[in-house]
């Protein structure tokens, strides 16, 4: 039997986050422990990073950047 469960560590609180199967690159997950939104930055091995860009924030950030 092959266990397809994969796990990675939350960069914020070091909690081990498990997935039933490997999430896709760029997928967003929420840490159940610290509620931080994380993004899959690498799939093999699975690595999570902070998700700085949320869909609706992107436009806002762009507008701010243009103003500078």
SS3 content of the chain, % helix, strand, coil (to 5): 20, 35, 45
Supply the minimum distance, in Å, between the C-beta of residue 7 and Zn ion: 13
Quick one: 36 or 43, whose CB is closer to Zn ion? 36
Q: Rounded CA gap, 60 and 1, in Å?
A: 48
- Residue 14 or 59 with smaller CB distance to Zn ion: 14
Q: CB nearer to Zn ion: give 15 or 43.
A: 15
> Could you tell me the smallest distance in angstroms from the CB atom of residue 9 to Zn ion?
9
């Amino acid at each position: 039997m092959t266990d397809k469960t994969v796990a990675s560590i939350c960069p914020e609180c070091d909690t081990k986050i498990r997935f039933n199967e490997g999430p896709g690159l760029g997928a967003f997950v929420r840490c159940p422990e610290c509620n931080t939104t994380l993004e899959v930055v690498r799939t093999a091995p699975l690595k999570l990073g902070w998700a700085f860009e949320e869909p609706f924030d992107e436009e806002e950030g762009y507008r701010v950047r243009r103003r500078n």
